[in-house]
A and B are shown apart, each in its own frame.
Chain A
Amino acid sequence: MAVKGKIRIRKTTQKLGYLDEKPTVYRIRTLTMPVISGENLVQYVAKSANVPVSSIRAAVAAIAQGICYFVINGHAVHFNNFGTFHLKMQYKVAQTEEECTTKNIKRLVPEFIAHRALLDQLMAISFETYDTVSLQD
């Protein structure tokens, strides 16, 4: 079920310090909403799924464990209408085939790519101006 999101924004001023004149400009900032902690998430999920909290806690931990396990073994973990977790590799290119070895790998990082459905919901977010901040030098 597609739910329409709403993000509150506020106007604020900013000095562009990297320019010589250091002009003051105006910009929008999103209001920092409370972080939903792991425990809050588990309680919310337990309530909405009507499943005992202990089972949800165990299931969430096991799901995270499963994602990590599959990702570090080169798989992409895809959740319908949500996104995909996978391992991203950063490496240095080589001029010849012989120089192209595993030593060229700089790092491996886990990455999340949002699904189109989730991105569409992001596009449909409405923004509500919360408050206007007066100019302060």
Chain B
Amino acid sequence: MVNSKAQLPSVTGKVLLRRSKMKLGYLDEKPEVWGLHMLRGGVIDNDDIVAYASQAANVPADNVNLALQALLDAITYFVINGHTVQIPGLGSIGTITNVKVAQTLEEANADTIRKTHIQFYPTDQVRELCSLKNVSTELVKLEVPGTSGGGDNEPAEPHPGEDTGD
């Protein structure tokens, strides 16, 4: 029987973190600070998701594969035509357009569009699921020769959106 209930998993998550030293290169003094970085697990691709979904929904893997391809194509088609698409159980995906203002009506045209990008809005349930209340964090120590706890992907500057502290 097909399991068609769109329920979010009632599981808690766990992420592993490491400490590393980094330089805040955008400041004049370029101070060295300590930051936290997530240790990423393996990348999950289409096949892994299809296998998981096929087992969870009790639907043949071929159908899930077809569904996934059609789903991604449909979302792409609607998004590039200006629609916002609600993905059940996940959130919404839509476009945001940045434009420049013009002084006259004639100047206000498609050339004033700076950039169009994609925005993902998770549902409240997904936000709750991914929040610190539901996801536990653990700090691990990585011994990497020649560095002080850093790794291959240690950035020199903090990611955009991250607080740089006081």
Residue positions of A touching B, CB distance < 8 A: 1, 3-9, 11, 14, 16, 25-31, 33-39, 41-42, 44-45, 48-51, 54-97, 99-102, 104-112, 114, 118-119, 121-123, 125, 127, 129, 132, 135
Contact = CB atoms under 8 A, between A and B. Distances in A.
A49 to B, nearest CB: 4
Contacts of A44: 74
Contacts of B70: 45, 48-49, 51, 56
Name B's interface SS.
mixed
B46 interface: yes
Nearest to B77: A3
A44 B126 CA distance: 24
Q: 7 closest Cβ contacts across the A-B interface?
A: A72-B13, A5-B80, A64-B89, A112-B120, A38-B88, A61-B6, A62-B53
Contacts of B4: 54, 57-58, 61
B130 A110 contact: yes
Nearest to B61: A59
A111 B120 contact: yes
Contact of A87 (B19, B38, B90): B38
Interface of B: 2-9, 11-17, 19, 21-22, 24, 33-36, 38-46, 48-49, 52-54, 56-59, 63-64, 66-93, 95, 97, 99-105, 107-110, 112-113, 116-118, 120, 122, 126-127, 129-132, 134-135, 137-139, 149, 158-159, 161-165
Name A's interface SS.
mixed
Contacts of B91: 110
A8 B81 CA distance: 9
A60 B67 CA distance: 7
A80 B45 contact: yes
A77 B15 CA distance: 15
B65 to A, nearest CB: 9
Contacts of A110: 91, 120, 122, 126-127, 130
